[in-house]
Amino acid sequence: MDENQDILAELGQASYVWHIAEDRLDWSENFKSLIGFHEEVNLESARGFEALLSAQSQQTRFTQLQESIAQDSHGDGGTYQCVYAVSAKVISGDEPVWVEDVGRWYPDENGKPSYARGIVRIVSERRKREESLKRKSEIDELTSLPNRVHLEEAIDLYIKNGLSLGKSAALLLISLSDFDEINSTLGFSAGDEVLKLVAEVLTSAKRDGDIAARFSGAKFGFIFDNCNEEEVESAARRLTSLLNGKVHLTSCGPVALKASAGACLLPKHAINPHEAIGSVTAALHQAQKRFGLKVSVYDPDPTLVEKRANDAKLLTQFAKAIEDGAMHLAFQPIVGAQTHRPEFHEALLRMTPETEGVIQDARFLGIAERLGLMRLLDRKALEMTLDVLEQCTDAVVSVNVTYDSIADGSWTSTLRERLLLVPDIAPRLIVEITESQIVSNMEETVAAIASMQEMGCRVAIDDFGAGYTSFSHLKDLNVDIIKIDGSFSREMVDNKKTRSFLEAMQWLSNRSSVETVIEWVEDADQAAQFKEWGYTYLQGELFGMPLPILPWERKRELSTKTFRSRSS
């Protein structure tokens, strides 16, 4: 063994010379021991060596050589690379050995391949890691079913086959009802058992060509191959009946599953995975509204199709407006009930008039919420409000935030980081959380309120009375301000119960040392009554509409240490 072969052996590699025309391989001395071949194996023929490869091999030296020859336009030769598996039948181990083969071929005087030189090394461990990563990226770890990524790839394939071959398949989205209750009553281990049980049921129901997958949470995807429009509903009913109406045993106790299923046809109802998931999700929502067996096949209602198209257009426009900074704050005064002088202003996010096709008034927030954009808008409103508080040292401002933004963590992190840099902002900032979002997230909301108060901010419940928060919750929430929903202001003239509620609300607030704001105050008689009852602040048309004008003088420029770049 020469010096070069010694080095290769130390590196776990072997070399060869391939005499292409003669179909002969000259291997370095260490090749046979490196791979672990049986002594009787003949490695001198290139074709004979290829016969020793496992059926798992998808590449060979011959195929890669042909590709390299096809790319050689100058007759100078070229390189090739391939990975193949040597069959376990011809080696001493129990598993195939994966080999990476890298070489260069050289032409004869006529430009045809004459010989090649190459190096091989074992890559079995790398192959195992790659297979493991691939499996993890495509397989749900809990149920061992394909995950959503794999499902979407399969949907794409079924759609393409349908378009090219005229075949039809059915996509189902199956959802378990009351799954959260199973987790909370029997524990998460029982919930995991239920998901595994459903996976087993769906797997056992598969025919050749069908696919069962875990979509997300307690939702599963199922593709029926060769399923047409006449068969899809009965197929969905059969599948859900395997889950519904039966008692399934877990180690934590028996559970009775309730499953709903939406279905759509591929490619009739979708020409890409995104459309397919949209269609089957719409069908699932319809199924969940039904009584009895909750199964629904997608019905492409033209009005819904148009609505989705409009939503997609609005989503694009909103995203562009956020990216371009085409938004501003409008400020509405909140005045002292006794003095009618502004005590602070509510900052309301608005789209600029130049934003084409997007509603400029407050209605755009409802659309944004439906499109799932409130986290972005909450973040934008916070950053713009903090900018105003830093520029205008006389400003006292309240800003709205949804529970989802608080739960996400990034909104709170932005607030905390900014207040550390400019601490004098905190006492002049009031955070408004809508009451309707508090009840279902009481513990988390209490913790979030305490956290913001520790930062030095005040916290208000917005639209109190419009949701279902009871008076007893007020002591747990420990907020600084309660904003009474404006609908009570408008009803107080004709509704004695409303007047009693408003009077009792202020009586309770006084004794709890909580300040109060009454919204939608529109005339002087209302204002006088609220003053008499002892409300702290008033807000409404009587004292000013939201205007995109700073009510304070700018007294300093933004510090270069702030996070302005995040809002630009």
The stretches of 289-402 forming alpha helices (DSSP H) are 302-324, 363-370, 374-391
Phi-psi region for residue 77, left (φ > 0), alpha (ψ -120 to 50) or beta? left
pTM: predicted TM-score of the whole model, two decimal places: 0.50
At residue 299's C-alpha, the angle toward residues 298 and 301, to 5°, is: 135
pLDDT in tens, the chain (568 residues): 466 666 777 788 999 999 998 999 999 988 988 898 887 788 899 888 988 998 888 888 988 898 888 887 777 889 999 999 999 888 887 889 999 999 999 999 888 899 999 999 998 888 887 776 666 667 888 898 998 888 998 999 999 888 888 889 999 999 988 787 787 777 788 888 889 999 999 999 998 889 999 998 889 999 999 999 889 999 999 999 888 867 777 777 788 888 999 999 999 998 889 889 989 998 998 898 876 668 999 987 666 666 666 666 666 777 777 777 778 899 999 999 999 999 999 999 887 765 454 444 556 666 667 666 788 889 989 999 999 999 999 999 999 998 888 877 789 889 999 999 998 999 999 999 987 666 656 777 888 899 999 999 999 998 887 655 555 566 677 899 999 988 888 888 778 888 888 888 888 887 778 999 999 999 999 999 999 999 999 999 999 999 989 999 888 776 544 444 333 3
Q: Which domains does the chain have, with CATH numbers?
A: 3-130 (3.30.450.20), 139-300 (3.30.70.270), 311-567 (3.20.20.450)
Tell me how far apart the alpha carbons of residues 493 and 545 are, in angstroms, rounded to a whole number: 22
Give one DSSP letter per residue of 64-104, joined into a string.
HHHHHHHH-SSSS-EEEEEEEEE-GGGBSSSSPEEEEEEEE
* Amino acid in the structure at residue 470: S
Q: Distances from the Cα of 120 to the Cαs of 32, 97, 196, 383, 384, in angstroms?
A: 12, 12, 43, 58, 61
3-state secondary structure of 151: helix
Judge whether 15 and 2 are in contact, CB under 8 Å. Answer: no
Judge whether 516 and 537 are in contact, CB under 8 Å. Answer: yes
